[in-house]
Chain A
Amino acid sequence: MSQFDIIVIGGGLNSLITASILGQSGGEVLLFETRDQVGGLASTSEFAPGFKCNVINDVVKWIDPRVMKQLNLESHGLELHSPDIVRIALDTQGQHIVFHRDPNETAGSIANHSEKDAKVWKQFTEYIDKLTHFLEKLYELTPPKLPNIGLKEAFSMRSMLSPIRKHGTRGLVDFMRVAPMMMPELVDEWFENELLRAAISTAGIHHLSFGPFAAATGLNLLHQHVHSKGVFHNVQFVKGGTSELANAVKLSAESVNVEIRTNSKVCAINVENGVCNGVTLESSETIQADQVVSGLDPRNTFINLVGPSKLNPTFATQLRNIKYRGSTARIHFALNGLPKINGIQEDQMGMIFSASPSIEYLERTSDSVKYGRMAENPYVEFTIPTVINPEFSPVGKHVLSASVQYAPYHLRGMNWSKELKDQLKNNVIQVLENYAPGISSLIESSSVLSPMDLESQFGLTEGNLNHGEMTLDQFMFMRPTISTAQYKSPIENLYLCGPGTHPGGGLHGTNGFNAAREILK
């Protein structure tokens, strides 16, 4: 039986970050990853002979600057590419709206549809940027344990209000007003053009099981734009694939002697009388540690690895009540050529495309979730990673990776069979054909990851990419539960550091950073 200071379960981005920071402070850290590579949602792999893809995330929306700095990721090989064009909202007639890094250029593209909308675009991006400043500060903090906060805790939260200095209390009020909004409410206040309204709304429904008519899609929209410096729909690509982000963190961790064991599945977190003392591996090896940190989602951590009989009933109920409901599927296509999209030049293809003609289209497709069906006309967001990383495919060939909503984990009267996945794929191809006629003839092979696959391959409960829905009731001091929002669990010496904690999902590393800070306290 070996003994470590700290065991980290899971080799996703946040786990690696926590491990690395704990390693920096001199702890003897051991990290376990079930799969053969670290990275979790920041993985790149071959899905067809000669074709690679970013399995789940093609892009990074934002990375916590504190992580960049503390782990010195650039020196460990991280290269980010920030394209000038970040997104194109596709139009069947070729009148696409092109979102540039520079809002004035975006306005120019919007002007083709509406002069009125073009005029307020810059103001809108500044408005959103202003509101995200409140989130940025909030995200750096460990949420308080409510409702009983003392003066000390309240004082430590004061930085949350610091953006008021710049934006006034009106800024804070605006933030509180927009966060609970639904998309139509937000866009009604600004824009008239439907393509634009829908394109904005896609940020609100990103990886959610709800449609744009759901309250608090405003919060999800703001969450996508933290640290985006006013660039609406901001994205960054990682040179060499998203996995290189994880690799940079891995290198940083290894530089401080964190031991990383892949192909090692933890099958139990050992708890004796409410105190965690180590883990047991599938190989039935037991390893003791002073502290255990889990980067897995709350259900995997507590229900599956700790076991319900070790949890007090209130906490067990709270855990059961966490909403996961993954509704996003990923489809990767191996193409034997670059698809032609009406009105788009080849050199413009290194960004995100969205097929979102109207808010009603998005809402209708989201209705499928509540009736437990797969969307017939799904919302498709796709990228062609081979434009930026040509090494992903044989020369002259390409990869198209699509995120598809809504493909609910919970289906009624059917399951995620191969037939259903094929059907989903065909639905997606049909959508793509609207914009890139002839694309189906380019497809050599494909790989469909349903939420069920995401669960089984990546250990994501119900296939939820955020380790729990990003809704207002699972936000901040409620994430993952009201009793565990401080990265600590009710089990002594067991901590959480994954996206299931504040401030939620995305490849930003804030969870891991904050968790490490709490553990070191």
Chain B
Amino acid sequence: MSYNNPFTAETQLKLSPFFERTSKLNESQEWRRWSGYLAATQYELTHDNEYFAIRTKAALLDITPLYKYIIEGPDAQRFLDRLVTRNIKICKVGQVMYTPWCDEDGKQIDDGTVQRLSENKFRITSAEPNLEWLDTNAAGMELSVSDDSKTTASLALQGPNSRTILNIIASESLDSLKFFWMTDTHFGDIPVSISRTGYTGDLGYEIWMDPKDALDVWDLLLEKGKPYGITPTGLQALDIARIEAGLILLDIDYISTRHAIIESRKSSPYELGLGWAVKLKKKDFIGKKALAAEQARGPEWEFVGIEIEWNELENHYRKVGLPPRLPGTAWRTSTPLYKGNEQVGYATSGTWSPILKRYIALAHVKAEYAKENTQLDFELKVEHFRKLTPARIVKTPFFDPERKRSCPQ
């Protein structure tokens, strides 16, 4: 079935080096803006197949719009160690660390991964531009900060078959590549870096390459991956997957302190469920003093997973004579959470999980209500009327398959 309705258009937005292919594959022509790029919302008319590609096959996503910076020089490690909350000293060459970074008040600026490319060279990824912050804090250190956003193109290959596909193409086997490690290899004669990272909470890899090789790599992956169900995947499916994985999204689940304007919009890593990534034993880093104080007194807010309970939800709809309406895609509207008459939190993103068959969401909740299994009321609109329906605090990630971290024996 093909209607072959071709069209051409122009845009003021940025185009990734893969656009030549992605634009033709996008059957729905649904696009979103991502960091000023035109990024596919979904390729097919519905996103279901793309979502299941992530969870059961292999999904190919263009993640070029991520901001990327290269930090290089004798002080690179010292610089990053001061910048981020995790301990970069113990990050080995070829290792990747996910970390937040904060301002001096311990409020989160952004989060991303730090890749140690060599002893004195790192790549850091971020959701928002961070060049100015990096530059400001590099004063007096022997290093260079360069914007790698346009000089490196990247793809994410996520899903249970991702390793199989890469093993067919790459010159070296990825069997021994551990979770949050990376390696340099070749696709034929094209040099690429592959990190075992991703934003889906599944087995998956991210491939980093020179933009001039972008189309060749794309073609190769689609060709060799076809027997394994490789599927170009858009942001709609990714959003569901990342919520299932309990991963936060800047500007949706939190606001960068650099743009928050008012105090109440700012969050610390402790308030975003990233307390594990704050290494207070580290000698000194930006925000340490404030974070140590916060840790000592306990954070005011916590970031939790909630599950909206099925039976009550179904009841609400039954009362108006409808079957339960479930969100077909992930939503991003802040939704109140109550305990009794008091609002004690708000959910920032949520979705029906097709794989878990549960209605889940990520939420900010006042610390005293953040304990697992605490019952709260979630605000729900049933046929234009607001209802409260029970929701329970549950552990994240909601979905956490063995294969995400394991290596073949």
Direct contact of A and B (CB under 8 A): yes
A-side interface residues toward B, CB under 8 Å? 273-274, 303, 307-310, 312-314, 316-317, 320
Report B-chain residues with C-beta under 8 Å of the C-beta of A274: 284, 289
Q: With A273-B284, A274-B289, A309-B141 known to touch, is A316 a contact of B82 (CB < 8 Å)? A: no
Closest to A271 in B: B284
B289 lies within 8 A of A303 (CB):
no
Q: Taking the nearest CB of chain A, how far is it from the CB of B358, in angstroms?
A: 42
Report A-chain residues with C-beta under 8 Å of the C-beta of B136: 313, 316-317
Report A-chain residues with C-beta under 8 Å of the C-beta of B103: 313-314
A314 to B137 CA separation, bound complex (whole angstroms):
10
A313 lies within 8 A of B140 (CB):
no
A308 lies within 8 A of B139 (CB):
yes
Q: Taking the nearest CB of chain A, how far is it from the CB of B286, in angstroms?
A: 6
Closest to A273 in B: B284
Q: Does B300 interact with chain A (Cβ within 8 Å)? A: no
- Could you say which of B103, B133, B139, B141 has the most chain A C-beta atoms within 10 Å of its C-beta? B139
Q: Does B224 interact with chain A (Cβ within 8 Å)? A: no
Name the one of B137, B140, B283 contacting A303, with C-beta atoms under 8 angstroms: B140
Add 5 more A-B contacts to A308-B140, A313-B136 (CB < 8 A).
A307-B140, A308-B139, A308-B141, A309-B78, A310-B284
B139 lies within 8 A of A312 (CB):
no
A313 lies within 8 A of B137 (CB):
yes
- Return the 5 tightest CB-CB contacts between A and B, nearest first: A308-B140, A312-B104, A308-B139, A313-B104, A313-B137
Tell me the dominant secondary structure on chain A's binding face: helix
Report A-chain residues with C-beta under 8 Å of the C-beta of B137: 308, 313, 316
A316 to B103 CA separation, bound complex (whole angstroms):
12
Report B-chain residues with C-beta under 8 Å of the C-beta of A320: 139
Q: Taking the nearest CB of chain B, how far is it from the CB of A446, in angstroms?
A: 38
A314 lies within 8 A of B104 (CB):
yes
Contact indicator per residue, chain B 67-89, by CB within 8 Å of chain A (1) or not (0): 00000000000100010000000
A316 lies within 8 A of B139 (CB):
yes
A498 to B289 CA separation, bound complex (whole angstroms):
29
Contact indicator per residue, chain B 104-140, by CB within 8 Å of chain A (1) or not (0): 1000000000000000000000000000010011011
A234 to B397 CA separation, bound complex (whole angstroms):
76
Q: Taking the nearest CB of chain B, how far is it from the CB of A246, in angstroms?
A: 32
16 example contacts (A-B, Cβ-Cβ < 8 A) are as follows A273-B283, A303-B140, A308-B137, A308-B140, A309-B78, A309-B82, A309-B140, A310-B284, A313-B104, A313-B133, A313-B286, A314-B103, A316-B137, A316-B139, A317-B136, A320-B139
Report B-chain residues with C-beta under 8 Å of the C-beta of A313: 103-104, 133, 136-137, 286
Q: Taking the nearest CB of chain A, how far is it from the CB of B256, in angstroms?
A: 14
A273 to B286 CA separation, bound complex (whole angstroms):
12
A273 to B285 CA separation, bound complex (whole angstroms):
10
Report B-chain residues with C-beta under 8 Å of the C-beta of A307: 140
Report B-chain residues with C-beta under 8 Å of the C-beta of A308: 137, 139-141
Q: Taking the nearest CB of chain A, how far is it from the CB of B316, in angstroms?
A: 49
A418 to B265 CA separation, bound complex (whole angstroms):
57
Q: Taking the nearest CB of chain B, how far is it from the CB of A413, in angstroms?
A: 26
Report A-chain residues with C-beta under 8 Å of the C-beta of B286: 312-313
A314 to B284 CA separation, bound complex (whole angstroms):
16
A309 to B136 CA separation, bound complex (whole angstroms):
11
Closest to B133 in A: A313
A307 to B141 CA separation, bound complex (whole angstroms):
10
Report B-chain residues with C-beta under 8 Å of the C-beta of A273: 283-284
A320 to B137 CA separation, bound complex (whole angstroms):
12
A316 to B133 CA separation, bound complex (whole angstroms):
12
